[in-house]
Amino acid sequence: MIVAIDGPAAAGKGTLSRLLAEEMNLAWLETGSLYRAVALRVLRDGSDPGDSRAAVGAAGHLDAGDLSDPELRREDVGQAASRVAAISEVRAALIGFQRRFAHRPPGKVRGAVLDGRDIGTVVCPDADHKIFVTATPEARARRRFLQLRESGTPVDERQVLAATVERDARDTERSASPLTPAEDAHLLDTTNLSIDAAFATLTAYISGSSD
Ligand code: DC
């Protein structure tokens, strides 16, 4: 079974995917971590994330250790990830890994859940279930702001909102695999939903009891 969960930053994809993986015994791949790992390598080399030669070089040299680096979660790495992700050669270098993970997931599992921006449209258009998780920019910025504050990072909520809107625009307006719902995706708006309520809706979509 392949489940594709797409949507903008901080809509709740990661939490929902993790819960789904646990509940249904699926392997989980957060595909954003691949773009973040490319971005972190580029930043550490002192290159610009918009420099396609540097980004394509980094994409060709990723290893498993890169994907578990706690620095991947940094705000500036998220922004840089969104810039390397606009380079079509970077996307081409990462698609094989994602498809292999979806079709031959590691471990004794029933299948895979992949979350990202283009899983239902480009990486796994043949996915058994596609969900597009969204929420207003204000709600997503608020969640991100609270997370950052809790982790001890001093932030201004207006700045988080501006960064969210900027990243949405870049991810949606790029020509290479832009963020957009697949035609056959279920839309799940989490603006006014608790995680429990959103997860119940997600599992209802997957079990086919809600259309
Ligand atoms: O999901 P995330 O915030 O960790 O993703 C970071 C960036 O990576 C995001 O702004 C756009 C890019 N990305 C992408 O283009 N395609 C994906 N499948 C996943 C992430």
Q: Is 82 in contact with 170 (CB distance < 8 Å)? A: yes
pTM of the model: 0.95
147-199 pLDDT per residue, tens: 889 988 889 999 999 999 999 999 999 999 999 999 999 999 999 999 999 99
Q: What is the 3-state secondary structure (H, E, C) of 3-61?
A: EEEECCCCCCHHHHHHHHHHHHCEEEEECHHHHHHHHHHHHHCCCCCCCHHHHHHHHCC
Output the CA 71–ligand 1 centroid distance in Å.
15
104-145 pLDDT per residue, tens: 999 999 999 999 999 999 999 999 999 999 999 999 999 999
2-202, CATH topology level: Rossmann fold (3.40.50)
The reported pLDDT for the residue numbered 12 is 94
Atom 9 of ligand 1: nearest residue by CA position: 82
Q: What is the DSSP code string of 103-161? A: HS-SSS-SEEEEEESSIIIII-TT-SEEEEEE--HHHHHHHHHHHHHHTT----HHHHH
Q: Is 61 helix (H, G, I), strand (E, B) or coil?
A: coil
Q: Which of 71, 82, 94 to mutate to test the pocket of ligand 1 (most atoms within 8 A of CB)?
A: 82
- For ligand 1, say whether the CB of 90 is within 6 Å of any of its atoms: no
Atom 6 of ligand 1: nearest residue by CA position: 32
The Cα–Cα gap between 204 and 37 comes to 33
Arithmetic mean of pLDDT over the chain:
95
- For ligand 1, say whether the CB of 35 is within 6 Å of any of its atoms: yes
